[in-house]
Chains A and B, each alone.
Chain A
Amino acid sequence: MDRIAVVGASLGGLRAAESLRVEGFAGEIVLIGDEQHEPYDRPPLSKSYLTGDGHLTSVLLPHTFDGTMLLGSAAVGLDTRQKLLTLEDGTTQTYDGLVIATGTEPFVPPGIDTALGGVHLLRTAAEASALRADLHDEPHHVVVLGAGFIGGEIASTCHDLGIPVTLVDMAPLPLARPLGHEVATILLERHQVAGTRFRLGVSAQRLTHDDSLQVSGVDLTDGTHLPADLVIVAVGVRPSTSWLDGSGVAVDNGVLCDADLSSVSTPGVVAVGDVARWTHPLFGDSVRVEHWMNAVESASAAARTLMGRGEPYAAIPSFWSDQLGHKIQGIGIPSCADEVEVDLTDGVLATYRRAGRVVGAVVFEKPRRLLAVRRDLAAQAEALT
């Protein structure tokens, strides 16, 4: 193998390229990204980047990348027989090994016109910069479509900036699926105490606008209207895989991978980060994990696989969210639990079980309390391999 192409120049792609060198790959590496910027860190984009000075340098990822970066032109096509990538600018790139690290992109519900003034998505640094500018322009009322982790973090940022905010979510209790009913209720109540308003069990039908095509509000499915001069669409993401259409690489809500992160369909192809779907050896579920830590850990696992030293990828999922001054941290896959035990004696500690076996834990503050569960899960995973 002489030439490896890494498609996607964010955390997962960058770390995969670095890991290939750690694994001894001496050939050529080309890292292809659709954005103009060098790789940067996304978690701050919904938090400190919005309240801070807005300089991209504060979020650029330090790296030891040794290869060629091709930035500002997305991969738009893949020919797996000729091992040829086509980029948006019409150029092509050959490869012997391919790392798919294109991540996810925001899902925009039908009826939501993101071209209107004051309507934002939040995935890229450019989008965060645009949102930051509008937030600092003293909006009167912010509406966030989607009350998941990103929605909650944006609401928290609005509190810090003193801006009234309403979260709209189709679910009667946001985050009930990833965190369970009890923990989701605690978080909802804390937001309500802080002043976040909620419209739950409804979704946005369409956006209204004024004559200058600035957003003026949101029509909801229950027939009511919410005035808004700034709307953020944060209803979720979907894997960025449209460039793989017709390539033969198997995709079904993510790139379908074997346990070692190699493509189930195409030799010499691996996937990393939140675009990869594989069956987690410990949980036995087909998963796609949209956490920062998964981008890092799957990158080194996939690099080993490409170098012929692959093994089942069984890292214990681990995530966090910063909201209202709380650091919420979790491990495992709480959403697969059938039972949740919540201990409120010292902050919040939730332990999630399926069929009596621990599958995850969530804490507010006091991260030490996660370690025992995490080590237990890691030991279980170790025993499998």
Chain B
Amino acid sequence: MKITVDLDVCEGHGQCEFAAPDVFEVTDDGSVDYQETAPESERAAVVKAAAVCPVRAIVIGD
């Protein structure tokens, strides 16, 4: 699955890392490092991460 995070919108809330720790890693300066392509087994966790992002920065592709 493809994942895009709008880093201009991201405020480093860190909710995504809690929901999907193998895909997202919040940085100390309030941004996020993430895998642009994640295994299908992570889909449920990534969907949760997108849902709990307060600024809706996460977009999930196919």
Binding site for B on A (CB under 8 A): 15, 43, 62, 292-293, 296-297, 318, 320, 327, 329, 365-368, 370-371, 374-375, 378
Knowing that A367-B26, A368-B14 touch, tell me 10 more A-B residue pairs with CB under 8 angstroms: A15-B51, A296-B52, A320-B54, A329-B13, A365-B30, A367-B12, A367-B30, A368-B26, A371-B18, A371-B26
* Alpha-carbon distance between A321 and B18 when the two chains are bound, in angstroms: 19
Residues of chain B lying within 8 A (CB to CB) of residue A320: 13, 54
Residues of chain B lying within 8 A (CB to CB) of residue A368: 14, 17, 26-28
Whole-angstrom distance between the Cβ of B37 and the nearest chain A Cβ: 23
Binding site for A on B (CB under 8 A): 11-15, 17-18, 26-28, 30, 51-52, 54, 56
- A327-B11, A367-B13, A368-B27 are contacts. A62–B56 as well, Cβ < 8 Å? yes
Contact A293 B12 (CB under 8 A): no
Total A-B Cβ pairs within 8 A = 39
**A62, A318, A327: which contacts B15 (Cβ < 8 A)?**
A318
Q: Which 4 residue pairs of A and B lie closest in terms of their CB atoms, listed nearest first?
A: A367-B14, A366-B28, A367-B12, A367-B26
* Alpha-carbon distance between A334 and B15 when the two chains are bound, in angstroms: 19
* Alpha-carbon distance between A293 and B49 when the two chains are bound, in angstroms: 12
* Alpha-carbon distance between A7 and B12 when the two chains are bound, in angstroms: 32
- A293-B15, A327-B11 are contacts. A43–B54 as well, Cβ < 8 Å? yes
Whole-angstrom distance between the Cβ of B6 and the nearest chain A Cβ: 13
Contact A371 B52 (CB under 8 A): no
Residues of chain A lying within 8 A (CB to CB) of residue B12: 327, 367
Contact A327 B30 (CB under 8 A): yes
Instruction: For B12, give the chain A residue with the smallest CB separation.
Output: A367
Residues of chain B lying within 8 A (CB to CB) of residue A367: 12-14, 26, 30
A–B Cβ pairs within 8 angstroms, 21 of them: A292-B54, A293-B15, A293-B52, A297-B52, A320-B54, A327-B30, A329-B14, A365-B30, A366-B28, A367-B12, A367-B14, A367-B26, A367-B30, A368-B14, A368-B26, A368-B27, A371-B14, A371-B17, A371-B26, A374-B18, A378-B18
* Interface-centre pick from B14, B18, B54, B56 (highest chain A CB count, 10 A): B14
* Alpha-carbon distance between A371 and B18 when the two chains are bound, in angstroms: 7
Residues of chain A lying within 8 A (CB to CB) of residue B30: 327, 365-367
* Alpha-carbon distance between A15 and B17 when the two chains are bound, in angstroms: 21
* Alpha-carbon distance between A43 and B13 when the two chains are bound, in angstroms: 13
Residues of chain A lying within 8 A (CB to CB) of residue B52: 293, 296-297
Instruction: For B48, give the chain A residue with the smallest CB separation.
Output: A300
* Alpha-carbon distance between A318 and B52 when the two chains are bound, in angstroms: 11
Instruction: For A320, give the chain B residue with the smallest CB separation.
Output: B13
Whole-angstrom distance between the Cβ of B52 and the nearest chain A Cβ: 6
Instruction: For A297, give the chain B residue with the smallest CB separation.
Output: B52
* Alpha-carbon distance between A371 and B15 when the two chains are bound, in angstroms: 9
